Structure 1
Amino acid sequence: MEWKDMLGADVVAQLEENYREQEPVKGTKSERDFPPVCKIFLPWTSGTWLLSEMEPDGLAFGLADLGYPEMGYISMDEIWEVVGPGGLRVERDIHWKATKPLSEYATEARQHGYIRA
């Protein structure tokens, strides 16, 4: 899967580790509020995602902004299939580092109408 190369082995490993840790407590009071592991974006649009966990098959969870911010799941296979002008694909912001939990990014994004990261 080419999107794994785009994310990088260390990012994939952390996303999958967060998934394994979250799975037994999902939907309970013990559910974790991880900081996002990475920021990905479509360079020719405002499409942006902050991902905090991912199943081994590539179903990732995080905050998405495709015109309005919302929490949810994204298929990495599906987003990799999107090809923009000049063959551009989804990219990872290699310089971005999370400074707070995902819920704080979501609250801020709802207040401003877009992800500010």
Structure 2
Amino acid sequence: MILLTPDLRFALRANAINRQACEGQGTPFDPPPLVKLFNPLSAATWLASELGDDGDTLFGLADLGFGCPELGTFSLSEIAALRLPYGMAIERDVAFETRFPLSRWAATAREAGSIIWAEQLLRRAAAEEFPPSIEDKGRG
């Protein structure tokens, strides 16, 4: 599986550029994560909101499954190089989308002890904060 499509790379780079611009102006920048990578055989999960100009350094929330998710940078090439049992590899959650900024994900994941549990809590919060519109109800 391709972990980052060209469109995702573009969006992640755009966030990195926007962060630099906001820092230069002294304004906060807190985008939602755009990509969720995960180990299908463990709790290791990464949420990325930015991609460095080297095309490899991602910024986001990393959770290796030890109960202490952390904000920081991680290497796309190192994650992609991981080989798991049974011929498996790290995967991208193609259905992942969120309205919550990375800071909210980080706070919720730290409180819950993992990104996986944070995702459940934030889904519930999204249902309360962003109820379906009349148009959405007609699609179901």
TM-score, normalised to structure 2, is 0.74
Structure 1 residue 103, shift from structure 2 partner: 0.4
Structure 1 residue 27, shift from structure 2 partner: 8.5
Structure 1 residue 87, shift from structure 2 partner: 2.2
Q: Name the structure 1 match of 2:94.
A: 94
Contact map agreement 2:8 2:34 (CA 8 A) in 1: yes
Runs of 4+ in 1 over 3 A off after TM superposition: 24-29
Counterpart Cα distance in 2 of 1:27 and 1:104: 23
CA offsets 1:62-103 (integer angstroms, 9 cap, x no match): 011112211010010111111101222211100110121000
Structure 2 unmatched runs, 5+: 120-140
Q: Name the structure 2 match of 1:40.
A: 37
Higher relative contact order (CA 8 A, sep 6+): 1
Q: Name the structure 1 match of 2:58.
A: 60
Shifted more, 18-27 versus 44-53: the winner is: 18-27
Aligned alpha-carbon RMSD (Å): 1.8
Structure 1 residue 28, shift from structure 2 partner: 7.4
Structure 1 residue 25, shift from structure 2 partner: 3.6
The structure having more radius of gyration, on CA atoms, is 2
Structure 1 unmatched runs, 5+: none
Identity of aligned residues (%): 37
Structure (1 or 2) with the greater helix fraction: 2
Q: Name the structure 2 match of 1:20.
A: 17
Alignment length (residue pairs) = 114
